[in-house]
Each structure stands twice: as structure tokens, then as C-alpha cells.
Amino acid sequence: MNKQNNQNKKRKIEGIVVSDKMNKTVVVDVWRFKKHPLYHKILKVSKHFKAHDENNEAKIGDKVIIEETRPLSKDKRWKVIKIVKKNQGEKIDEEIKSEEEMLTDEKIESDVIIENQ
């Protein structure tokens, strides 16, 4: 019963992936609001967590849920549980690249036509 209680006590937090350059590891940026003790101003505070991503599924800009786990390395104590929302920026980048390729192809074709005349 004690093990079951410990599993339920694992913290889960939501954040945004800011780096996926390491193998099976992502860096997640978690934001929270904190009230200043003296001035009572609400501050937005962020913290980076390294999390284990077994299948390298999470990419930069994805919104993920990470869960506390046993230490996996010197810095990793979290693992990615779920990708809540995929980053849409990659699709936009691909569309822009395809448009640029089309424009360069048209330019090459127009250059060939001009040379043939």
C-alpha cells in the first residue's frame, strides 16, 4: 500500500519544450506566478527542467506534461508523460520552404527561356 501512495504523490507539471538537442532528453520551461513578499507584486517566474523522452517525440515548442521520477542522470529527475499540443511552427516553416522552392524553380525556368531567345 505504501508504494501505491508514493506513485500517487508524484508531481506532474505542464511546460513548453525549449530544447530537444540531446538524445532522449528535452528541456522543459515551466512558468508560474509568485507574489513578492514585501511589495505584493505578481511576478512571472520560469524554471527549466530536463526530462526523459524515450522515443524523442517532443520537439521545440510542444506543450508537454512531465512527471517526477527517480534520478535518471545527474540532472534528469522528470519524464515526459504526454504531449498536450504539438508546435504548429514546423508546418508553417515547411510551407514557406516549399513556396521558396517554387519561386526559385520559376526563376530558373524564366532564366532558361531568356537565354534561349
Check whether residue 13 and residue 34 sit in a common domain.
Answer: yes
Check whether residue 51 and residue 98 sit in a common domain.
Answer: no
Q: How many domains does the chain have?
A: 2
Cα 47 to Cα 73: distance, rounded to the nearest angstrom: 18
CATH number of 23's domain = 2.40.50.140
Residues spanned by the domain of 91: 87-117
Give, for 111, the enclosing helix (H) or strand (E): helix 89-116
Cα 72 to Cα 51: distance, rounded to the nearest angstrom: 9
Check whether residue 15 and residue 48 sit in a common domain.
Answer: yes
Is the torsion defined by CA of 77, 81, 82, 83 positive or negative? positive
Check whether residue 10 and residue 62 sit in a common domain.
Answer: yes
In tens, the pLDDT along 15-69 reads 999 999 999 999 999 999 999 999 999 999 999 999 999 999 999 999 999 999 9
Q: What's the predicted TM-score (pTM) here?
A: 0.68
In tens, the pLDDT along 61-102 reads 999 999 999 999 999 999 999 999 998 766 555 555 566 666
